[in-house]
């Protein structure tokens, strides 16, 4: 991951060095070179401050906006994701057509991605990162970041599905079968590609069985066996759902 961001940062550096001369070019270059040396030596927070200072001291210089992105990158390397996000959000708001927008979007998504909570906690960060990765992949389909975005979306979907399963199991354990079914149905209908789908079917069978929704339990059971015939959850469903094995072919025909 850091290698990819370092390569991307090199592209930013090239972009910075290609700017035309302006009256303050010499001073901007001196500040930029000092910041770049700090970044290369691992002094990320100091480098970030210097890059950010470019915009403060030389707001009309061509390098000022790139300095925001480089500053955000340094804050990212320092694991100061909140400061990086602030800079990136400002950059994207005021430079929507800048050539560094794809990189800024990718870096912004990565800042959020690095803060994704463990399973069982709020999945807000995972959903937010996913939306940015999706927007970047769709809006800049020829971007060098697209493939990585798609891979991370798959990872995030698995995290989101795991969170939904955790909430569903909580509802189920506390006797709120209908709310649990709603969470499991979200996974079955929208997260089928994740590894959590078979368990979502199984838990749906359990919930339906517990509140007397026999027809729905049989339907979920049949779907589980059809889609995941050799899965652990399919085998387990056959042992605990007493009526399903007997009636799996007796479900009402539409």
- What integer pLDDT is reported at residue 2 of this predicted model? 54
Write the CA distances from 225 to 177, 214, 248, integer angstroms: 22, 16, 10
Where along the chain do its domains lie? 1-14+22-88
- What integer pLDDT is reported at residue 26 of this predicted model? 52
pTM of the model: 0.79
Closest to 39 (Cα-Cα) out of 3, 14, 9, 1: 9
- What integer pLDDT is reported at residue 62 of this predicted model? 73
Q: Within a 13 Å sphere around the CA of 235, how many CA atoms are in the beta-carbon half?
A: 3
DSSP 92-153: HHH-TT-TTHHHHHHHHHHHHHTTPPPTTS--HHHHHHHHHHHHHHHHTTTSTTHHHHHHHH
Which pLDDT tens digits describe the chain residue by residue (254 residues)? 555 565 455 545 544 444 444 444 458 888 888 999 999 999 999 999 999 888 888 877 778 888 999 999 999 999 999 999 999 999 999 999 999 999 999 999 999 999 887 554 678 899 999 999 999 999 999 999 999 999 999 999 999 999 999 999 999 999 999 999 999 999 999 999 999 999 999 999 999 999 999 899 999 999 999 999 999 999 899 887 565 555 545 544 44
What's the CATH superfamily of 1-14+22-88?
Tetratricopeptide repeat domain (1.25.40.10)
- What integer pLDDT is reported at residue 253 of this predicted model? 46
H/E element holding 79? none
Closest to 70 (Cα-Cα) out of 113, 104, 96, 97: 104
- What integer pLDDT is reported at residue 242 of this predicted model? 60
């Amino acid at each position: 991951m850091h290698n990819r961001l370092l390569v991307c940062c090199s592209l930013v550096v090239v972009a910075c060095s290609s700017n035309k001369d302006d009256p303050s070019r010499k001073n901007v270059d001196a500040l930029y070179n000092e910041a770049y040396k700090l970044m290369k030596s691992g002094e990320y927070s100091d480098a970030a401050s210097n890059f950010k200072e470019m915009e403060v001291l030389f707001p009309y210089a061509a390098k000022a906006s790139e300095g925001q992105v480089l500053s955000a990158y340094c804050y990212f390397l320092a694991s100061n994701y909140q400061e990086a996000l602030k800079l990136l959000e400002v950059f994207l708001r005021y430079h929507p057509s800048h050539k560094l927008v794809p990189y800024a979007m990718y870096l912004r998504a990565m800042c959020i991605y690095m803060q994704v909570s463990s399973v069982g906690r709020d999945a807000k960060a995972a959903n937010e990162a996913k939306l940015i990765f999706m927007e970047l992949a769709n809006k800049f389909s020829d971007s060098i970041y697209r493939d990585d975005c798609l891979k991370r979306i798959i990872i995030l979907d698995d995290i989101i599905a795991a969170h939904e399963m955790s909430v569903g199991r909580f509802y189920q354990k506390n006797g709120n079968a209908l709310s649990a079914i709603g969470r499991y149905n979200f996974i079955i209908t929208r997260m089928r590609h994740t590894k959590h789908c078979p368990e979502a079917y199984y838990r749906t069978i359990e919930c339906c069985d517990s509140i007397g929704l026999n027809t729905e339990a049989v339907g979920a059971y049949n779907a589980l066996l059809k889609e995941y015939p050799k899965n652990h959850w399919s085998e387990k469903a056959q042992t605990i759902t007493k009526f399903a094995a007997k009636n799996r072919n007796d479900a009402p025909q539409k």
